[in-house]
Amino acid sequence: MDTNPLLASLPTRIDAIVSRGAKAHSDHIALHEDARTLTYAQLDHAVDALAARLKAAGVRAGDRVMLIGENSVALVASLFAVSRLDAWALIANARLSTVELDAIRAHARPRIAFYTVEASDDAARHAQRDGAVAEVLDATPIGAFALSEADAASQEEPHGLSSDKQCAALIYTTGTTGTPKGVMLSHRNLLFVAAVSSMLRRVGSSDRVYAVLPISHVFGLASMCLGSLYAGASLRLAARFDAERAGRVLSDERMTIFQGVPAMHAKLIDHFTPRGGLNAPSLRFVYCGGSPLDMTLKAAAEAFYGVPLHNGYGMTESSPTVSNTLLDAPASDSSVGPLIPGVEARIAPLAQQRDADDTGELWVRGPNVMLGYYRDPVQTAATVTNDGWLKTGDLARFENGNLYIVGRSKELIIRSGFNVYPAEVEQAFNSHPAVLHSAVIGRSVQGNEDVLAFVELRPGCVANEPELAQWVSERLAPYKRPSSIRILDALPVSASGKVLKHQLGKLAN
């Protein structure tokens, strides 16, 4: 597919999604949360009013505006208001600790911070600590928010650039290292993914999208939030995932689209299956992303929802989408589908690879590749080549045009000369009926590497390490079997549900 006409049709800034929607279907519902509902016209008016308020508070084009909150009308409106001022939206989940937020703030040096105090108790606590006072905008129904004092020392970044050069959002990601990096995503990065993802899902104004993925995470921002609004759909906002509540919304409010991480689907299945299942007949598209999907969960989810569980692959640095399974051709295996239109890929052999197979590091190139890491030219140069190839750090292979993700190149375990891919070992654990999810890492030992496994059990289920060891030994070659299995009350996860393996490495020492 030639994506040049699509790229040429994209607006200059992401806030144009709202103004365009207000002209096309002014009275159609854009956002709905427990406390309020906004049409596209009302959202456009709210964005204008909030942009004026931010400007009066000292925000200039090229400033970073730190948005501390959880999914809400206020958070979405502030995202577009920042864009309307040609500033950068630095979106941070309010569930982060004060230490984490302070580290991001110290690196990004935002001009001001915006807190969604009505929609998030954690945001309210952060605002109180920072001395920000709650306020409302008269006749603008976005709920209460708070603003910090403007930082006079904050420096403006370049602005007024073309959409492919101007930063729209700054998203901090810990990746696998635990050290936050600020990923700069341009307006074109985000608009391209919004347009393509909505096209591939065939999203329209009749769709009602359950928006529980954190908008502070690129998956929730680009594909769920921007992609849905780009297509004129309605977003049903939820600040946090709760299985009972999610099931009621999917059923009673007739949601048509639900995108989630594997843990969300697993918890819904566990919660509702003993209660007779989930009755959500309006669901037409269910998607899983953000971390690897094992086949046991895929099969269970498809039986549970009654529709295919679509899968895809992406990362913050690619805005995030690289590949998706197709609406008319859902995968029957663990494939993450073909590349989305406009994106190309190559498989780069690994220097340390000893096995002869078709797996290597995935490199991608296209309109979705980030501008770079903020204030880190060295890391940017190490990650994106001069001719635009993004080195994903993920191990992958292609079969019949479909992409398969094997794991992280930095997580590849070489045991006795054999490659061990953590995702394969994790799938063996996850197939056990008592296991909710698992994580596998490597640990260096003299002249070799050990395979270590960490497991979280389903609520109410019982299993011990010897039982799990026996289970996986029947499903894995000897060199892939863990030398250590630890059962934890809960695996450490990020706000988006991704397992933080660098924290597990500390437990292993």
Give mean pLDDT, residues 255-280.
93
What's the whole-model pTM score? Answer: 0.86
509 — pLDDT class (breaks 50, 70, 90): low
Q: How far is CA 215 from CA 75, 378, 459, 479, in A?
A: 8, 28, 28, 40
pLDDT, residue 380, reads 97
Q: Would you state the structure tokens that stand for residue 476, as one six-digit string? A: 């894995």
Share of residues in the chain with pLDDT > 70 (%)? 96
pLDDT, residue 176, reads 46
Q: What is the dihedral of CA 314, 305, 297, 213, to 10 degrees?
A: 40
- Element (DSSP H or E) covering residue 182: strand 181-186
pLDDT tens string 19-77 = 999 999 999 999 999 999 999 999 999 999 999 999 999 999 999 999 999 999 999 99
CA 500, chain centre distance (Å): 14
Domain ranges across the chain: 415-508
> What does pLDDT average to over the chain?
92
Contacts of 436 (CB under 8 A, 6+ apart): 263, 266, 270, 456, 457, 458, 459
- CATH architecture of the domain formed by 415-508: 2-Layer Sandwich (3.30)
Q: Per-residue pLDDT for 234 more than 90?
A: yes
267 closest CA partner among 437, 480, 13: 437
Q: Would you state the structure tokens that stand for residue 55, as one six-digit string? A: 């400007």
Give mean pLDDT, residues 349-373.
83
Q: Categorise residue 297: left if φ over 0, alpha if ψ from -120 to 50, beta otherwise.
A: alpha
Share of residues in the chain with pLDDT > 90 (%)? 78
pLDDT tens string 79-119 = 999 999 999 999 999 988 888 899 899 999 999 999 999 99
Range in 58-67, 94-103, 388-397, 450-459 the model is least confident about: 94-103
Q: Per-residue pLDDT for 134 more than 90?
A: yes
In terms of C-beta density within 10 A (0-12 exposed, 13-18 middle, 19 or more buried), how is residue 200 classed?
Answer: buried
Q: Per-residue pLDDT for 477 more than 50?
A: yes
pLDDT, residue 351, reads 64
Look up residue 387 and give its DSSP letter.
T
Q: Per-residue pLDDT for 352 more than 90?
A: no
Strands of 358-498, DSSP E: 360-365, 372-373, 390-399, 402-408, 413-415, 418-420, 435-445, 448-457, 484-488
CA distance 348 to 335: 19
Contact 388, 365 (CB under 8 A): yes
Give mean pLDDT, residues 444-473.
90
CA distance 118 to 144: 5
pLDDT, residue 153, reads 94
Q: Per-residue pLDDT for 179 more than 70?
A: no
Give mean pLDDT, residues 301-313.
96
